[in-house]
Chains A and B, each alone.
Chain A
Amino acid sequence: MNKISKLLLALSLAFSVTTSAFAVTVASWGGAYTESQKLGYGDPTAKKLGIDINWVDYSGGLSEIKAQKEAGAITWDIIDVFAMDTINGCDEGLFVKFDFDKDFPAAPDGTPASKDFFTSMPSECAVGNILYSWNYAYNSDNVKGTPKTIKDFFNTKKFPGKRAIYTGALTNLEIALAADGVKPGKGGAKIYKALNTEKGVQRAMDKIKELCTDPKGGCVFWSAGAQPPELLMSGEVVMATGWNGRFFNAAVGEGAPIVQVWDAQGLDYEYFVLVKGSPNEADAKKALAEMTSTEGLAGSAKYIAYAPWRKSSIAVMEKGEPWYKDGKTNMVPNMPTAPANTKNYFLVDPLYWADNGTELGEKWEAMKAGF
């Protein structure tokens, strides 16, 4: 008995040492996405710096890290978060504020990090990771003709059948306005200007309501990223909004008859944040800098069709085409940032949603409840 308890004690000690003292823990979204991160920059960084990197799955939101902090037992060092969460988490004092050019390496040609990234960060606690797109796709087996624009998504006369849209208001209001004739303008500025008025929000809601209550149309609401391609393949819906990486994986990776449409796509960002007071803050900071370097970010795009945030990473990919892991698919044209895909787009505005998310959420739910 005594021996066993001693053994257990030693084991638990050894375990706690390996899990918390030396390894950096990164919380991310799981599935193919975490896989791309692990293979793309996680493992290379771990090897280079001699730090163990653990990947754990979470389903978004800040509740878990807030609970960890309140309990005084922080186990995550780095988190992969939405733009809105970097703002809210930074405001709550959960994350470390960066000195951007000092904390992150410059591009190979010497461009400082702050210039190498596509846009500025939404908060001082964020460092860009990928750009992904909220676009829509259709199943070419079930749709007669070829939808080309966002108006086609809402056109149930020409393309009858149910649509799958995101369960919350986020990006749905934007595409509704774009389909209703509001030109997005530079980075979607005009859309958000319209959405800043009651009238604009009402107009967007009406458009969605029209689509969802149309007997020829109708809506299915998705909440997990894997759902849109699945709903398209099962024939449950004829068109679906979703994340471009998931559509790409279904179309190219699995050979499904899914075609993406990039008109009025919403470019959105994914960020890394460093948890303030995490057990391995110093190591985590080093690892984070390495993972978000030019080579690091380009690495993950080998496995999934999300764009690396650094311009210099795109240059690396262009030189290395075909960049996709199958060795024959060019990755750059499949990026949401490719020129052909950004003819008409908007940038999802995190500050707008941080400001208005709750109220719009209530209105959205009230509208859905009335269907």
Chain B
Amino acid sequence: MSSENKQILTTDGTPLEVSLKKAEKKNKIKAFLLVAPLLLFIIITYVFPIGEMLMRSVDDKMVTEMLPKTYKSMEKWDGKELPPEEVFEAFYIDFQKLIEEEREGKLSTQLNYTKNGFKSIIKKLRRKSKSFEEGNYKEQIMAVHRRWADVEYWRAIKRRAPAYTYQKYLKGMDMYENEKGEIVNVSEDRRVHRILWLRTLEIAFFVTVFCFLMAYPIAHLLATLPMKYSNLLMICVLLPFWTSLLVRTASWMILLQQQGIVNDFFVTIGLVTDDNRVEMMYNKTGSYVAMTQILLPFMVLPLYSVMKTISPSLMRAGKSLGGTPFVAFWKVYFPLTIPGIGAGCLLVFILAIGYYITPALVGGASGTLISNQIAFHMKSTLDWSFASAMGLMLLSGVLVIYWLYNKLVGIDNIKLG
């Protein structure tokens, strides 16, 4: 090529390449400055809180710092039998310091997360330890409450020794690490999280499927009807979209309950007898119906925006080339709507996976999802590190789905509007 031998110069004599780079650099800085506020916003409101959540879910320094001597003396203890006297003594010394600093309550809360029952025995120990005599702390502490003489409780204390831990993540999967370092399941009657994870996935999946089945014809109608009808239909789609979530959930309760309007109608037309009214609420059916209706617009809108751009002549062309209406639809129209389907399904699925008010209200016993459990630990037990761990597990679940989608369909194939 000639450009390799002879450089092209601009009018002021600098090579074109250099001058171009200069101009581009300026543009790049300008572009960066333009997006800088947004970048900052994302870092502050998204990256930083998630980092904070990650830290909170693994950080266990608090207990480690509260019981320094105890953990030092525990290093040699194998966790099989009750710890030796020196551990009890170290614990007593650490504990006295905590009482002085009025931090023994925090310790009791933290240890209670690991094993239930610590709250009351630590309160009792605080009261009784004031009159402790010097020496033989093992016997004195064990005399306070029978749980102090239970090796399980000392193992629970030891489990909190590391400053960083992944225990909360194990707990989110109904597992824990026992004193031998093996990862085992919790007892069967306490396995609740796995059930909830699976149920959350199941409900989110089916809601997405139902939304897709219902939204596709609606969106197609919206895109093909003449303007004056489609506007009206659009308002019908958007009105519920703008209505408060709680109002819509409450309306479903009125409709679906056993003495509700739908059941009354069934009885009137003789579909069911008065004593055998259908149970459509306080079970999964309720969750499916209410969530599908609430999330429907999130499927309709991306589908509509994609279908709007598909020229009607394409279908006609398909038919004139000899395809039946179905073949023309399947081979021509449907593939063109895939970007909209992808966007809609991802949106609905991701929203559904984090839902909790609606299933809590209409879902009944089989309606609690994993988000309800997260809220429970945020609000009631104040175990924010466990809530963070489960929140991150949920987030990584969403990311996995996103990644899968990217592998299967390709993320460039998404179109929101």
Known: A92-B382, A354-B119, A358-B113. A365 touches B368 (CB 8 A): yes
Chain A residue, CB-CB nearest to B109: A91
- The main secondary structure of chain A at its interface with chain B is helix
Q: Which of B105, B189, B365 contacts A221 (CB 8 A)?
A: B365
> CB of B103 within 8 A of chain A?
yes
B364 contacts across to A, CB distance below 8 A: 220-221
The answer to whether A369 touches B117 (Cβ under 8 A) is no
The answer to whether B106 touches A61 (Cβ under 8 A) is no
The size bracket of the interface on B is 35 or more
> CB of B130 within 8 A of chain A?
no
A281 to B376, CA, bound (A): 30
B379 contacts across to A, CB distance below 8 A: 59-63
> CB of A23 within 8 A of chain B?
no
Q: Which of B113, B196, B365, B378 contacts A371 (CB 8 A)?
A: B365
Interface residues of A in 27-73 (CB under 8 A from B): 59-63, 66
Chain B residue, CB-CB nearest to A84: B380
Chain A 247-260 against B: per-residue CB contact (8 Å), 1 yes, 0 no? 00000000000000
> CB of B416 within 8 A of chain A?
no
Chain B residue, CB-CB nearest to A202: B189
A90 contacts across to B, CB distance below 8 A: 105
**Interface residue total, chain A, C-beta cutoff 8 A:** 38
> CB of A146 within 8 A of chain B?
no
Cβ-Cβ contact count across A and B, 8 Å cutoff = 100
State the Cβ distance, B103 to closest chain A Cβ, in Å: 7
The answer to whether A63 touches B378 (Cβ under 8 A) is yes
A371 to B365, CA, bound (A): 7
Interface residues of B in 106-150 (CB under 8 A from A): 106, 108-109, 112-113, 116-120, 123
Q: Which of B119, B199, B378, B384 has the most CB of A within 10 A?
A: B119
> CB of B185 within 8 A of chain A?
no
State the Cβ distance, B92 to closest chain A Cβ, in Å: 20
> CB of A368 within 8 A of chain B?
yes
Interface residues of A in 203-248 (CB under 8 A from B): 212, 219-221, 223, 234-236
The answer to whether A234 touches B259 (Cβ under 8 A) is yes
A368 contacts across to B, CB distance below 8 A: 365-366, 368
Known: A63-B382, A236-B258. A355 touches B118 (CB 8 A): yes
The answer to whether A62 touches B368 (Cβ under 8 A) is no
State the Cβ distance, A355 to closest chain B Cβ, in Å: 5
30 CB contacts below 8 A, A to B, read A61-B378, A61-B379, A62-B382, A63-B384, A87-B119, A88-B382, A90-B105, A91-B106, A92-B109, A220-B282, A221-B364, A234-B257, A235-B259, A352-B120, A354-B120, A355-B112, A355-B118, A355-B119, A357-B116, A357-B381, A358-B383, A359-B116, A362-B190, A362-B192, A365-B196, A366-B192, A368-B368, A369-B192, A369-B368, A371-B366
B residues with a Cβ closer than 8 A to A are 102-103, 105-106, 108-109, 112-113, 116-120, 123, 189-192, 195-196, 199, 257-259, 282, 360, 364-366, 368, 373, 376, 378-384
